[in-house]
């Protein structure tokens, strides 16, 4: 949807007032955010919103407060906003201004009514607060993003227009205050209420994220109640759209108590959708406990606490263990470890008491849902709420979950001899009880599996990010690159297959691959800043991979050598020569090979005692080497991959991922079927080799090198 330009509509100066008077803050009890005498945490901290650009300079927009208490408070930009005239005329429509609704850092909000009597909220931004082009763009972005949203739990955008003094954003009216107002009144909420609120919030976030929008300022003060006390997320002032799911955002923004750790730390790695998930965790905690988890008087202390995830559950507040588990998982430092909105809904916590709606008396009365709503009703309410907020598509999920699944309360079964009903029909029957436990246990296990999977994914991402190649030989032939990529994939698949076999309990002896020691690189020297990369193989053959891409492989047990170069059809083409009959133009290459050979003999020790074996019939050469910070990776022409790690342990993966060879720092070498080592969890007798961690790096190295990066030269 394209945004209509904001045009001045009042040629007759209808909305311009001659004398500038500051808006009196009419505080209606629900909506007054400007609570200077309220010492509740929210009034003091929640409306500080920060946004810094990459130079770490604060921009005028959204810098709604300065950082207390060290610095002097700045006047809020919203205070520049004057009360609009009682009649606002725009594009042929008249709006009658009603009472003041509330104030943010940037805008003041008024009730307005159109000629037909419909009531809206007009978020009013003073034009003098839009000082720079950047600020104007930010406002337009807020409008554009908000305008594109349509969801039952998002404040509906209606229209926008301007007069000489203000820009007006017309919104669906939310006349019952915000979650922040509710918490201020009630001090803390019951878990059933918070379950209901969280479901509605998750529905809205799922919708936003599916449209590649990150809100980035989710907090209790930005979530409002509509007429029927349904929640509506508002204020898209810090929202951002992503061009694709891989894009990252780098602007440091948010509200101190709700800001995610990666926003504070990740100037380089950036942030994405997961920052909104983090704020859900902060909100659930705040609603149940009564204050946010990282609260402190000093903003910098809040940041320090967030960065090290320093929060706990106060002993004097009642909170269920299920809620704690959910909050702890959401507040994971690593964004990838946080559950998705769908996964949040799978948490056991939601299987507890669940109301059908929020009562109108919510502001003043503590509901007693636990006594009013049965567990069977809770299930229905939960599913209804999920469906209404877009978290559940009933058509997709035709089979409703059995009610037994949701029984958490254990009733004592009557086993007296005068009972009439058979055990299986009695509501407290052991069969039911058994089922309850099994089902909830199964759900718990599923949650745990999902958590483990997220942790593994996060670890993989960390490895991936840390794996940066420092040098490699450039391969100029496309077909060679394809061959290397397919070898990497073949071996990677072999490793994955071995991992799957291990999960199934391993392989019977008869199906284990036959152990054959592979040919490996026993010495190497990187002289690529001059000639190239030289290596010795376990056969004692010496190879030099020259900077121009060709290889000379001097055989150890014969007066012969290979000259290998790229070939557009075969990938590589090798020509065999007797030393005595070599063409003159290869003399220079052989001199360099000789030089390296002497150098390696004199200066380097052999890393393995392997020699030429029966099965080493074909000569092997090095197709590619890649030096990473953590290891050097060799890709040999017989499909063996070798990884020499910084800590002097080495691994070779051969036979398409079926065999692993371990070479210890003291040069002992052993070859095993990979599935057997996976079963043991480490190299026999060498637990210090950290095999599993190294295999994760191996897989990532293979993955990285399986990508075909074209070299257009």
Q: Name residues whose C-beta falls within 8 Å of residue 297's C-beta, 6 or more positions apart in sequence.
A: 69
Give me the least distance between CB of 236 and ligand ADP, in Å please: 8
Give me the least distance between CB of 420 and ligand ADP, in Å please: 58
Q: Check: CB of residue 411 under 8 Å from CB of residue 375.
A: no
| 98 vs 367 by CB, closer to ligand ADP | 98
Catalytic residue among 181, 217, 541, 619: 217
| CA torsion through residues 351, 357, 362, 367, sign | negative
Cα–Cα distance between 166 and 90 in angstroms, integer? 12
Give me the least distance between CB of 144 and ligand ADP, in Å please: 15
Structural tokens at position 199: 């479901």
CA–CA distance from 300 to each of 62, 70, 257 (Å)?
Answer: 19, 10, 11
First-to-final CA distance of the chain? 43
Structural tokens at position 94: 């008249």
Q: Kindly give the pairing relationship between strand 119-126 and strand 166-172.
A: antiparallel
Closest by Cα among 212, 348, 219 to 284: 219
Cα–Cα distance between 290 and 285 in angstroms, integer? 8
Cα–Cα distance between 54 and 63 in angstroms, integer? 15
Q: Check: CB of residue 520 under 8 Å from CB of residue 527.
A: no
Q: Which residues are annotated as a binding site?
A: 127
Binding site for ligand ADP (CB under 6 A): 31, 33, 78, 101-107, 109, 121, 123, 155, 171-174, 221-222, 224, 234-235, 237
Q: Check: CB of residue 51 under 8 Å from CB of residue 58.
A: yes
Structural tokens at position 444: 């718990």
| 217 vs 383 by CB, closer to ligand ADP | 217
3-state DSSP assignment of residue 63 = coil
| 78 vs 538 by CB, closer to ligand ADP | 78
Structural tokens at position 318: 């009642």
CA angle 27, 31, 37 (to 5 degrees): 60
Q: Please identify the residue of the shown chain whose CB is closest to the bound ligand ADP.
A: 102
Give me the least distance between CB of 271 and ligand ADP, in Å please: 21
| 63 vs 517 by CB, closer to ligand ADP | 63
Give me the least distance between CB of 288 and ligand ADP, in Å please: 22
Give me the least distance between CB of 162 and ligand ADP, in Å please: 16
| 174 vs 277 by CB, closer to ligand ADP | 174
| 114 vs 540 by CB, closer to ligand ADP | 114
Cα–Cα distance between 233 and 215 in angstroms, integer? 9
Give me the least distance between CB of 182 and ligand ADP, in Å please: 13
Give me the least distance between CB of 69 and ligand ADP, in Å please: 22
Q: Check: CB of residue 649 under 8 Å from CB of residue 694.
A: yes
CA atoms within 13 A on the CB side of 97: 20
Give me the least distance between CB of 10 and ligand ADP, in Å please: 23
Strands (E), 83-155: 87-90, 93-103, 108-114, 119-126
CA–CA distance from 105 to each of 79, 229, 309 (Å)?
Answer: 8, 25, 28
| 287 vs 348 by CB, closer to ligand ADP | 287
| 62 vs 616 by CB, closer to ligand ADP | 62
CA–CA distance from 450 to each of 336, 347, 446, 447, 673 (Å)?
Answer: 12, 11, 6, 5, 30
Q: Check: CB of residue 81 under 8 Å from CB of residue 129.
A: yes
329 is catalytic: no
| 156 vs 539 by CB, closer to ligand ADP | 156
| 237 vs 673 by CB, closer to ligand ADP | 237
Give me the least distance between CB of 326 and ligand ADP, in Å please: 27
Ramachandran sector of residue 270 (left: φ over 0; alpha: ψ -120 to 50; beta: rest): left
Cα–Cα distance between 668 and 641 in angstroms, integer? 18
Full strand arrangement of the beta sheet holding 521-527: 521-527, 532-537, 542-546, 551-554, 560-567, 571-578
| 66 vs 499 by CB, closer to ligand ADP | 66
Q: Check: CB of residue 226 under 8 Å from CB of residue 176.
A: yes
| φ, ψ dihedrals at 110, nearest 5° | -125, 150
Cα–Cα distance between 215 and 173 in angstroms, integer? 20
Q: Name residues whose C-beta falls within 8 Å of residue 246's C-beta, 6 or more positions apart in sequence.
A: none
Give me the least distance between CB of 33 and ligand ADP, in Å please: 5
Q: Which residues are annotated as a binding site for ATP?
A: 127
Residue 654 β-bridge partners: 659
| 171 vs 202 by CB, closer to ligand ADP | 171
Give me the least distance between CB of 173 and ligand ADP, in Å please: 5
Closest by Cα among 708, 694, 704 to 643: 694
Q: Residue 611 has what DSSP assignment?
A: -
Closest by Cα among 122, 114, 119, 133 to 166: 122
| CA torsion through residues 700, 704, 705, 708, sign | positive
Strand (E) or helix (H) holding 447: helix 430-466
Q: Check: CB of residue 104 under 8 Å from CB of residue 255.
A: no
Residues catalogued as catalytic: 217
């Amino acid at each position: 949807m394209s945004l209509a330009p904001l045009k001045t509509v009042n040629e007759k100066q209808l909305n311009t007032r001659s004398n500038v008077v500051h808006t009196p803050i009419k505080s209606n009890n629900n909506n007054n955010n400007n609570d200077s005498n309220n010492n509740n945490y929210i009034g003091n901290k929640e409306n500080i919103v920060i946004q810094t650009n990459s130079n770490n300079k604060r921009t005028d927009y959204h810098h709604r407060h300065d950082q207390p208490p060290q610095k002097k408070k700045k006047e809020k930009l919203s205070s520049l906003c004057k009360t609009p005239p009682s009649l606002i005329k725009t594009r042929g429509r008249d709006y009658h201004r009603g009472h003041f609704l509330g104030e943010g850092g940037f805008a003041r909000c008024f009730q307005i009514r159109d000629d037909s009597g419909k009531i809206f909220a007009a978020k009013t931004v003073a034009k003098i607060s839009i000082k720079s082009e950047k600020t104007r763009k930010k406002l337009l972005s807020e409008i554009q993003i908000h305008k594109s949203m349509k969801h039952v739990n998002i404040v509906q955008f209606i229209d926008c227009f301007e007069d000489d003094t203000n820009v007006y954003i017309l919104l669906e009216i939310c006349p019952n205050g915000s979650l922040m107002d509710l918490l201020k009144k009630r001090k803390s909420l019951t878990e059933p209420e918070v379950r209901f609120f969280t479901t509605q919030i998750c529905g809205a976030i799922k919708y936003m994220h599916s449209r590649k929008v990150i809100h980035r300022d989710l907090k209790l003060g930005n979530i409002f109640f509509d007429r029927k006390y349904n929640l509506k997320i508002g204020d898209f002032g810090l929202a951002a759209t992503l061009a694709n799911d891989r894009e990252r955002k780098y602007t440091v923004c948010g509200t101190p108590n709700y800001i995610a750790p990666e926003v504070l730390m990740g100037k380089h790695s950036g942030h994405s959708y997961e920052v909104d998930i983090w704020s859900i965790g902060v909100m659930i905690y705040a609603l149940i406990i009564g204050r946010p988890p990282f609260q402190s008087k000093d903003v910098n202390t809040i940041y320090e606490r967030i960065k090290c995830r320093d929060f706990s559950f106060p002993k004097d507040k009642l909170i269920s263990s299920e809620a704690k588990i959910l909050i702890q998982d959401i507040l994971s430092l690593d964004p990838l470890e946080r559950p998705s909105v769908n996964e949040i809904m799978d948490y056991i916590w939601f299987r507890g008491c669940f109301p059908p709606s929020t009562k109108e008396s919510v502001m003043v009365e503590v509901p007693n849902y636990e006594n009013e709503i049965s567990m069977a009703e809770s299930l229905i309410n939960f599913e209804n709420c999920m469906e209404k907020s877009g978290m559940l598509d009933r058509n997709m999920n035709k089979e409703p979950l059995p009610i037994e699944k949701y029984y958490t309360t254990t009733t004592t079964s009557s086993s007296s001899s005068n009972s009439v009903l058979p055990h299986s029909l009695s509501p407290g029957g052991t069969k039911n009880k058994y089922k309850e436990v099994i089902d909830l246990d199964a759900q718990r296990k599923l949650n745990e599996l999902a958590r483990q999977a997220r942790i593994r994914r996060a670890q993989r991402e960390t490895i991936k990010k840390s794996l940066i190649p420092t040098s490699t030989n450039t391969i100029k032939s496309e077909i060679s690159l394809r061959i290397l990529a397919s070898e990497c994939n073949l071996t990677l698949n072999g490793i994955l297959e071995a991992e799957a076999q291990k999960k199934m309990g391993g392989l019977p002896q008869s199906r284990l691959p036959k152990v054959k020691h592979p040919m490996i690189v026993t010495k190497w020297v990187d002289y690529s800043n001059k000639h190239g990369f030289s290596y010795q193989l376990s056969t004692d053959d010496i190879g030099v991979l020259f900077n121009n891409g060709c290889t000379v492989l001097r055989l150890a047990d014969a007066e012969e050598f290979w000259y290998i170069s790229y070939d557009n059809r075969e990938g590589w083409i090798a020509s065999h020569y007797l030393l005595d009959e070599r063409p003159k133009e290869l003399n220079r290459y052989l001199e360099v090979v000789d030089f390296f050979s002497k150098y390696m003999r004199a200066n380097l020790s052999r890393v393995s005692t392997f020699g030429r074996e029966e099965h080493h019939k074909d000569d092997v050469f090095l197709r590619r080497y890649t030096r990473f910070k953590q290891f050097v990776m060799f890709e040999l022409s017989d499909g063996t991959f070798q990884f020499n790690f910084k800590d002097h342990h080495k691994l070779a993966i051969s036979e398409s991922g079926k065999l692993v060879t371990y070479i210890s720092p003291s040069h002992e070498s052993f070859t095993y079927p990979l599935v057997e080592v996976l079963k043991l969890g480490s190299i026999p007798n060498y637990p210090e080799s950290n095999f599993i961690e190294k295999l994760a790096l191996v897989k990532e190295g293979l993955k990285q090198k399986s990508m075909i990066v074209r070299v257009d030269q």
